[in-house]
Chain A
Amino acid sequence: MRRSLVPVVLGLMVPAAVAAQNSVYGLMGIGFPGEPLSARARSLGGGIGAFDPTSALNPATAVGLGWTSSGRARLVVGGVAGTALRSFTAGDSTVTGLRETRFPFGIFGGTIPNTRFSFAGSFSTYAERTYDVTITGTQVLRGETVEVTDRIASDGAITDFRGAIAFRPGPGVFVGAAFHLLGGSSRLTVARTFSNPAYAPYAERSQLVFSGTGVSAGVVLLPTSAIELAASARLDGNLKTTSATRRAGTVGLPLSLSGGLRLTPAAGISLSSTAVRHSWSTAQPDLAAPTRAFDTWDIGGGVELSRPQARGLAPPIRLGMRYRQLPFSNVATQPTETVLSGGTGVSLAGGLANLDLAVERFRRSGGGATEQGWHFSLGMVMTPAGFGR
């Protein structure tokens, strides 16, 4: 590892006393949708998502985890940690200095010994449910109007655990399928205080547990050495929420279709793009008014530039751009998000590990709010010694 990277890593480790909040758009529906992307894919605007073995969008890419470019079997583990710095304006309220740090993605995979199959196991954030909101209002109690201050806080996420298997049926073709287990939980704190001290403040704490299942399948085609095509589909069932022993709602989850194109016109230049369509409107019947659910597009693209040097490759330059629609709103307007991203990576330990950095500048708007901020990701993918190279 280069010494210059040490301060960067240590800097990301320093905790700070600022707010931990996910997007203001995560207050609605089942939360703010996550992205099963590696740090490398994030720096490319998600464009490489449909092809990236270290992302969890397309199960066919698990082939890439199991075999090196030279055809040797291996085992790979990796993960991403990210920090978002954020501010938003909603109505007359402007809030700055919000921060959230998460470990939203991890993956491992490799070759199933003595077979042509590869496998991948991963976890990723399906929907983020972290917020802490204070609301003031009034209530008539015992014939008098009492001012109340409510605090509703949630800390947790819906997590997507994926088990994928893939193989290469022929030259230039990868196919794969996966089973998704949705889980996770969030700690919900609801508190109310009263302006009249005769009323005792109260707080209720509960744990919401999420469960659900889904399946996905995908394919990657390599018709030429310069062109890659990918497609995948994912069908999720219902997301069930329970609180203690009681059922706390069910939400229908979408069908997701994705497609991608990757071009390598010359050595050291890679262009990639991925588009995903989610039919989130299927959740509408299960959502309480005034929340609305919209179908969404998630389109991203990026370019990766690298050049050979005396020993291996120089750190690549990655640039990307992304546009996506957000699925939930409490008004008729669907919110959207645009992201400009960049990043790089270094190869460590003689190629046994890769450290990737991604920086994203995002802006979200719609539904009466605007939100902008930075997202920093640090990803590590490595092959443990003795498990291939």
Chain B
Amino acid sequence: MTPRWGWLVVVASAAGMACQDIVSTPGVCPEFCPQGEIRVHDTLLTGVEPIGSYSGYLLPQEANETQIVGPGGPVEARALLVFVPFSAKYAGGDTTVKDSILQLDSLRLRLHIVRRTAGVSGMTLAFHEIPIALDSATTYGDMTPYFQDSTLLATLSVPDTLVKDTVAATFPATALRYLGGDSLQVGIGLRISSPDPAFVSLGSDSVAIATRLTRFVQVDTSTGGTRVVRSDSWGIRFKTFVADPGGLPPPTAFVAGAATGARAFIKMNLPASIVDSALVVRATLLIPSTRPILGAPGDTFLLRVLALGSDFGPKSPVADTTYSGSARVVAGSSDTVAVDITRILGLWRGNTTVPRSVVVQVEPEAASISTIELPGTGSATQAALRVTYGLPFRLPGT
């Protein structure tokens, strides 16, 4: 063998032997334990400073849900729906019939209920004809005159077993006082009546489950003078819900939620020794209640806290929706709301480019009357941050 072969053997042996896997073995303490100390501490930080509350990010007509709250709760709310104008001619797509409408028979309103008060029986939805000239400025008071017996189109009993499903009610076209002639548009208002306080939320976030109004008309067949019944269906042009201001608490500086979709901004004045140096294993934002949390009877909502990417006041963008925390809140509760924001502190660790500020919002946004109030700086109870963190491993001899 030449010397070159010898070198090859040594190098190859060393390279091969360098490969290894490590598997952890159980420690037997204190006899056979590594020296050192893992230190995990818990502390309550009070540097949580609400800095403002703003709305207008999402309007009720843009929300995924529309809430109807019956009487007996803290606030009554009603839904207002204005549909796309009907075509003057049949538009159902059946080519075996002529499109001239001979007679309008009836209409069917289909709704998709996505949430409701559990355990309340005898819930009834009442449909009223309302004006079609609505906008985001329409108030509960503006609509009150139209929720009378004279405007009642139909009622619909919500099955007690219904949790999330589609329901429909049919009413004669003659019940609509303003439909016909020049107006081919329908406005319908919805309210709830029930033995106990209750609510329903209507979903409108996709075509398949959106609220639809179907028109049943008589038309001639294309071959002769035989009358047949056909239908065409139309969606919503505008929808919203309005709440009775009489039940709302006086406005405060720091709120999140409500029909206005308000967001509250909070600045965290946290010591760098914890945010930058420690390993945060759990961080909980504690929001004490100044009064029972406003919401529909039996309703819950998600309170979400997101880290801001920049701090520009009301137009501050969020950093990344993955850096967030949330907690489900029960309406009417007076308990302190605890939101886990561990991931947000993970974003802040060693990152000086993002502000130490968060935004608090209710989800789904602008879709319910649910409102949480944050205590202001002068309040007896203050929001706080509870942080559980690990300190650097204490080596023996240090």
Q: Does A235 contact B (CB under 8 A)?
A: no
On whether the beta carbons of A133 and B33 are closer than 8 Å, the reply is yes
On whether the beta carbons of A188 and B393 are closer than 8 Å, the reply is yes
Question: Cβ of B133: which chain A residues have Cβ within 8 Å of it?
Answer: none
Q: Does A361 contact B (CB under 8 A)?
A: no
A103–B12 alpha-carbon span in the complex (Å):
12
A148–B42 alpha-carbon span in the complex (Å):
15
Question: Cβ of A17: which chain B residues have Cβ within 8 Å of it?
Answer: 21
A247–B398 alpha-carbon span in the complex (Å):
8
The A/B interface has a contact count, at CB < 8 Å, of 204
A380–B9 alpha-carbon span in the complex (Å):
9
Stretch at the interface among B91-99, B370-378, B384-392: B384-392
On whether the beta carbons of B396 and A133 are closer than 8 Å, the reply is no
Q: How large is the interface on B (under 10, 10 to 19, 20 to 34, 35 or more residues)?
A: 35 or more
Given A142-B42, A352-B3, A90 and B281 touching (CB < 8 A)?
no
On whether the beta carbons of A21 and B22 are closer than 8 Å, the reply is yes
Which single residue of chain A is at the shortest CB-CB distance from B283? A200
1/0 contact string of A44-74 vs chain B (CB within 8 Å): 0000000000000000000000000000000
Question: Cβ of B395: which chain A residues have Cβ within 8 Å of it?
Answer: 208, 241, 243, 248-249
Q: Does B363 contact A (CB under 8 A)?
A: no
On whether the beta carbons of B19 and A133 are closer than 8 Å, the reply is no
Q: Does B379 contact A (CB under 8 A)?
A: no
On whether the beta carbons of A27 and B10 are closer than 8 Å, the reply is no
Which single residue of chain B is at the shortest CB-CB distance from A192? B38
Question: Cβ of B282: which chain A residues have Cβ within 8 Å of it?
Answer: 141, 198-200
Chain B proximity of A54: nearest CB distance (Å): 14
Chain B proximity of A343: nearest CB distance (Å): 16
Stretch at the interface among A8-16, A225-233, A260-268, A269-277: A8-16
Stretch at the interface among B23-31, B77-85, B103-111, B251-259: B23-31
On whether the beta carbons of A81 and B13 are closer than 8 Å, the reply is yes
1/0 contact string of A131-153 vs chain B (CB within 8 Å): 11111000101100000101111
**Contact among A13, A153, A251, A287 with B13 in the assembled complex (CB-CB below 8 Å):** A13
Question: Which positions 142-197 of chain A face chain B at CB distance < 8 Å?
Answer: 142, 148, 150-155, 188, 190, 192, 194
Question: Cβ of B25: which chain A residues have Cβ within 8 Å of it?
Answer: 19, 21, 93, 95, 98, 131-134
On whether the beta carbons of A9 and B393 are closer than 8 Å, the reply is no
Which single residue of chain B is at the shortest CB-CB distance from A196? B282
Q: Does B35 contact A (CB under 8 A)?
A: yes
Question: Cβ of A288: which chain B residues have Cβ within 8 Å of it?
Answer: 35, 396-397
On whether the beta carbons of A368 and B31 are closer than 8 Å, the reply is yes
* Chain B residues at the A interface, C-beta cutoff of 8 Å: 1-3, 5-7, 9-10, 12-36, 38, 40, 42, 279-282, 340, 342, 386, 388, 390, 392-393, 395-398
User: 26 interchain pairs (CB within 8 A)?
Assistant: A12-B16, A12-B17, A20-B22, A27-B27, A28-B32, A81-B13, A81-B17, A91-B32, A95-B26, A134-B24, A148-B40, A154-B34, A198-B282, A200-B280, A200-B281, A200-B342, A202-B390, A204-B390, A241-B397, A246-B398, A248-B397, A288-B35, A330-B31, A330-B32, A331-B31, A369-B28
| Apart from the given pairs A13-B13, A132-B22, A369-B32, 8 other A-B contacts in the complex at a CB distance below 8 Å | A27-B27, A83-B17, A133-B34, A142-B388, A200-B280, A204-B390, A291-B396, A330-B30
